[in-house]
Amino acid sequence: MPDENAHINIVIRGSDGTERFFKIKPSTAFGKLKRGYAKLQNLDIGSLRLHYDGVPLSDHATPLDLDMIDGDVIENYIPQVGGGGSACFGRPGSLPSTAERYIISWFP
């Protein structure tokens, strides 16, 4: 187990492939790391989705909680918005799916 006062180097890799390096204590909460990354990248903190080994990171969790080691990489996924709406709705001769009927009922 790493010493709580020692520092480790963590990499945050953006969805565009850019990498930012952070030297932090293993006891540093990911929320603090997230705020620093958002500020450096000029991003809205609410848009960040940090994952380690495919698992979303809680703001209160720490590298110590996850047994992270020096050089580990955290991925920042940007949520995809939209996609496919026009391809699914209104195809000539097609009936609306259950999801489409639900959406249509909300937006008549």
Instruction: List the domains of the chain with CATH numbers.
Output: 8-76 (3.10.20.90)
pLDDT digits (tens, 9 = 90+) for 28-64: 999 999 999 999 999 999 989 999 999 999 999 999 9
Q: How confident is the model at residue 103 (pLDDT cuts 50, 70, 90)?
A: low
Stronger pLDDT, 107 or 82, i.e. the higher one: 82
Mean pLDDT, the chain, integer: 82
> Residue 102 and residue 96: Cα distance in Å, rounded?
9
In the chain, % helix, strand, coil (3-state, to 5) comes to 25, 20, 55
Query: Which pLDDT score is estimated for 15?
Result: 87
Query: Which pLDDT score is estimated for 78?
Result: 72
Stronger pLDDT, 40 or 88, i.e. the higher one: 40
Strands 50-52, 73-76: pairing kind:
antiparallel
Q: What angle do CA 43, 47, 49 make, to 5 degrees?
A: 115
Query: Which pLDDT score is estimated for 95?
Result: 57
pTM: 0.68
